[in-house]
A and B are shown apart, each in its own frame.
Chain A
Amino acid sequence: MSLQRRPFLALLAAIGLAGVLPASTAFAQSALDAIAARKSIAIAIPTDFPPYGFVGTDMAAQGLDVDMARLVAARLGVAVELVPVTSANRIAYLQTHKADLVISTLGKNPEREKVIDFSAAYSPFFQAVFAPKPMSVKSPADLAGKTVGVTRGAIEDMELTRIAPAGADIKRFEDNNATVAAFVSGQVQVIATGASVAGNMMARNPQLGAEFKLLLKDSPNFIGVAKGDDKLRLKVNEIIAAARSSGEIDRLCLKWLGRPAGDLPI
Chain B
Amino acid sequence: MSRLDFAAVLADWPLLLRGAALTLLLTAVATVLGIALGIACARARTHGRPLARALAAAYVELIRNTPFIVQLSFIFFGLPSLGLRLSSEAASIIAMTLNLGAYAAEIVRAGIEATPRGQLEAARSLALSERQVFLKVVLPPSLGRVWPAMVSQVVIVMLGSAVCGQIAAQELSYYANLIMSRNFRSFEANFVAAALYLALAAVLRQALAWIGPRWLFGRAATAGR
Tell whether B198 is near chain A: CB-to-CB under 8 Å. no
Tell whether A174 is near chain B: CB-to-CB under 8 Å. yes
Of B2, B85, B177, which contacts A152 at CB under 8 A?
Answer: B177
A172 touching B168, Cβ below 8 Å: yes
B174 touching A187, Cβ below 8 Å: no
Residues of A within 8 A of B186 (CB): 89, 92, 95
Known A181-B77, A182-B77; judge A92-B184 contact (CB<8 A).
yes
Tell whether A185 is near chain B: CB-to-CB under 8 Å. yes
B59-110 at interface with A (beta carbon < 8 Å): 76-78, 80-81, 85, 88
Known A95-B184, A152-B181; judge A172-B174 contact (CB<8 A).
yes
A83-119 at interface with B (beta carbon < 8 Å): 88-89, 91-92, 95, 111-112, 115
Assign chain A's interface to a size class: 20 to 34
- A173 to B122: give the CA distance in the assembly, Å: 57
B168 touching A173, Cβ below 8 Å: yes
B167 touching A173, Cβ below 8 Å: yes
Known A115-B184, A157-B181, A185-B81; judge A178-B2 contact (CB<8 A).
no
Residues of B within 8 A of A152 (CB): 177-178, 181
Residues of A within 8 A of B180 (CB): 92, 153
A95 touching B178, Cβ below 8 Å: no
Residues of A within 8 A of B80 (CB): 185-187
A182 touching B181, Cβ below 8 Å: no
Tell whether B129 is near chain A: CB-to-CB under 8 Å. no
Residues of A within 8 A of B178 (CB): 152-153, 172
Residues of A within 8 A of B131 (CB): none
Tell me whether chain B's interface is mostly helix, strand or loop, or mixed: helix
- A152 to B168: give the CA distance in the assembly, Å: 10
B2 touching A95, Cβ below 8 Å: yes
Tell whether B49 is near chain A: CB-to-CB under 8 Å. no
Tell whether A171 is near chain B: CB-to-CB under 8 Å. yes
- A88 to B182: give the CA distance in the assembly, Å: 10
Could you give, for residues 165-195 of chain B, a 1 whenever the CB lies within 8 Å of some chain A CB and a 0 otherwise?
1111000001001101111101000000000
Of A89, A115, A158, A171, which contacts B2 at CB under 8 A?
Answer: A115
B77 touching A111, Cβ below 8 Å: no
In the complex formed, the residue of A with least CB distance to B181 is: A153
Residues of B within 8 A of A115 (CB): 2, 184
Residues of A within 8 A of B181 (CB): 88, 152-153, 157
Residue of B76, B80, B168 with most partner-chain A CB within 10 A: B168
Residues of A within 8 A of B77 (CB): 178, 181-182, 185, 187
B166 touching A111, Cβ below 8 Å: no
Looking at the assembled complex, report how far the CB atom of B178 sits from the nearest CB atom of chain A, in whole angstroms. 6
- A172 to B15: give the CA distance in the assembly, Å: 14
Could you give, for residues 198-241 of chain A, a 1 whenever the CB lies within 8 Å of some chain B CB and a 0 otherwise?
00000000000000000000000000000100000000000000
- A92 to B2: give the CA distance in the assembly, Å: 11
- A227 to B3: give the CA distance in the assembly, Å: 13
Looking at the assembled complex, report how far the CB atom of A46 sits from the nearest CB atom of chain B, in whole angstroms. 16
Residues of A within 8 A of B182 (CB): 111, 153, 158
A178 touching B166, Cβ below 8 Å: yes
Residues of A within 8 A of B166 (CB): 173-174, 178
- A157 to B174: give the CA distance in the assembly, Å: 14
- A153 to B183: give the CA distance in the assembly, Å: 10
- A57 to B207: give the CA distance in the assembly, Å: 52
In the complex formed, the residue of B with least CB distance to A175 is: B166
- A187 to B166: give the CA distance in the assembly, Å: 13
Looking at the assembled complex, report how far the CB atom of A203 sits from the nearest CB atom of chain B, in whole angstroms. 20
11 contacts across the A-B interface (CB closer than 8 A): A88-B181, A89-B186, A92-B186, A111-B183, A152-B177, A153-B178, A157-B181, A174-B165, A181-B77, A187-B77, A187-B88
Contacts from B to A (Cβ < 8 Å): 2, 76-78, 80-81, 85, 88, 165-168, 174, 177-178, 180-184, 186
16 other A-B residue contacts (CB within 8 Å) besides A185-B80, A187-B77: A88-B177, A89-B186, A91-B184, A92-B186, A111-B183, A112-B184, A115-B184, A152-B177, A153-B177, A153-B178, A171-B168, A173-B166, A173-B167, A185-B81, A185-B85, A187-B76
